[in-house]
C-alpha cells in the first residue's frame, strides 16, 4: 500500500493530504460525539494504514443532493486533494424524483471534475417502502454516474450496517459507534485507492 503524501525528498515537510467527506448526517456524525464520528474514525484508520491525511467533515445533517450542490463551491474553498461524495440518502427518504437527484449529483461531479479533484462516489439504495419502480430508478443513479464520469464507486455506504439493530442508533437509521467502525473498515481500501491517485506534490492546483 502506497503511503500518500509521503514521497520525495521534502516529504517530512509536506502537508497532509486533505480528504473532503461531502455528505449528510451519515458523514456529519449525527448523534455521536466527535471522537466516534465517521470522519474522525476514517482519519484514524487511514493514518494507521500509513496515510498522512486530514479528513474534512463536510457533512450537513438533513442535506439533500440539492443542498450539496448549493455548497460545492464553498466546500472546494478548503482546497481538498480528494473527495468522498456521500449524498442522496435524504433524497430517498423524502421520495424526491430520482431524475432530480441524478442531475444534482451529476452537477457536483462535473464541478469536481472541472476542479481536477479525484472522487470516490458512495452509493445509496432507495428505501424499500417507496416501491420497485422508484427503487430501480434511484438505485441506478450511482453506477450510471460512476460510468459517466469515470470515477470509482462504493455501491452502498451503509453496507453491512443498514437494518442491523445492534449497529444503529435508536432511530434505526443512523449508525452507532460500532456501525461507524464497520463502515470505515469496509470503505478503507476504497478510500486508500482514491488517495493513491493524488499526485505526490499534493493539491491539483499547486
Name the residues annotated as catalytic.
25, 171, 174
Cα 177–Cα 179–Cα 180 angle in degrees, nearest 5: 65
Cα–Cα dist 26/37, whole Å: 9
Bridge partners, 122 (sequence order):
154
Given a contact cutoff of 8 angstroms between Cβ atoms, the answer to whether 25 and 57 are in contact is no
Taking the CA atoms of residue 145, residue 147, residue 149 and residue 153 in that order, the dihedral angle to the nearest 10 degrees is: 70
Cα 201–Cα 205–Cα 206 angle in degrees, nearest 5: 40
User: Quick one: how far is CA 35 from the chain centroid?
Assistant: 18
Cα–Cα dist 43/45, whole Å: 5
Alpha-carbon distance values, 65 to 61, 81, 139, 149 (Å): 12, 21, 15, 17
Cα–Cα dist 131/145, whole Å: 22
Amino acid at each position: 500500500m502506497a503511503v500518500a503524501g509521503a514521497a520525495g525528498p521534502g516529504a517530512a515537510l509536506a502537508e497532509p493530504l486533505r480528504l473532503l467527506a461531502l455528505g449528510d448526517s451519515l458523514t456529519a456524525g449525527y448523534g455521536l460525539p466527535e471522537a466516534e464520528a465517521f470522519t474522525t474514525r476514517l482519519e484514524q484508520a487511514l493514518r494507521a494504514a500509513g496515510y498522512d491525511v486530514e479528513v474534512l467533515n463536510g457533512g450537513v445533517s438533513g442535506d439533500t443532493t440539492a443542498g450539496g450542490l448549493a455548497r460545492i463551491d464553498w466546500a472546494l474553498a478548503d482546497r481538498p486533494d480528494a473527495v468522498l461524495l456521500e449524498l442522496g440518502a435524504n433524497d430517498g427518504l423524502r421520495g424526491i424524483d430520482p431524475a432530480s437527484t441524478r442531475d444534482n449529483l451529476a452537477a457536483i461531479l462535473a464541478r469536481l471534475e472541472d476542479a481536477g479533484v479525484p472522487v470516490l462516489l458512495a452509493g445509496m439504495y432507495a428505501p424499500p417502502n417507496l416501491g420497485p419502480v422508484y427503487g430501480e430508478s434511484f438505485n441506478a443513479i450511482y453506477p450510471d454516474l460512476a460510468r459517466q464520469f469515470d470515477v470509482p464507486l462504493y455501491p452502498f455506504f451503509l453496507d453491512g450496517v443498514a437494518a442491523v439493530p445492534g449497529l444503529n442508533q435508536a432511530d434505526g437509521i443512523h449508525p452507532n459507534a460500532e456501525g461507524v467502525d464497520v463502515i470505515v473498515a469496509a470503505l478503507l481500501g476504497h478510500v486508500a485507492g482514491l488517495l493513491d491517485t493524488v499526485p505526490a506534490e499534493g493539491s491539483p492546483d499547486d
